[in-house]
Amino acid sequence: MEKIRKSAGKLLLFTLLLVLAACNSSALEVSVIEQPVYEKGEYGVITFEVLESGQPVSGLEISALFEMNRMDHGHIEAVFTDSGDGVYTGEAAFAMSGEWIASVTASEGGNEIWTETVIFEVGEGNEH
């Protein structure tokens, strides 16, 4: 029963994030341009590109909340660094490789202006 409740909660959260992203009035788009790689005990680097009408958008405060798509490894938060030209880089301690969901939030001057959900893969690193 607990497993069903957790699955239902994840589905509800994912659906809510999709609805919020669809209702967003901003034309911002986010995509993963560098996927992280899982290596035990290491942080994985993930890089997003943020565009508006096909043009790079810099100067935003970007953060993300990560969770694994099909397993419960809790939530991981990350803050991203603006590298210029619409590129934002962050690090997170992913629990394993596989499919992950990111709820990406952009803010300006501390005011949240946009949220989008992105599904991406964390690759398999080298085992030592």
pLDDT of residue 19: 42
pLDDT of residue 17: 41
Distance CA 85, CA 68 (A): 29
What are the two backbone dihedrals, phi and then psi, of residue 67, each rounded to the nearest 5 degrees? -150, 150
* 29-78 pLDDT, tens digit each: 999 999 999 999 899 999 999 999 999 999 999 999 999 987 777 889 99
Which residues are registered as beta bridge partners of 60? none
For residue 8, the domain's CATH number is: 2.60.40.10
Query: Percent of the chain having pLDDT more than 70?
Result: 78
Question: pTM to 2 decimals?
Answer: 0.76
Distance CA 10, CA 4 (A): 10
**How many structural domains compose the chain?**
1
Domain ranges, residue 54 = 2-124
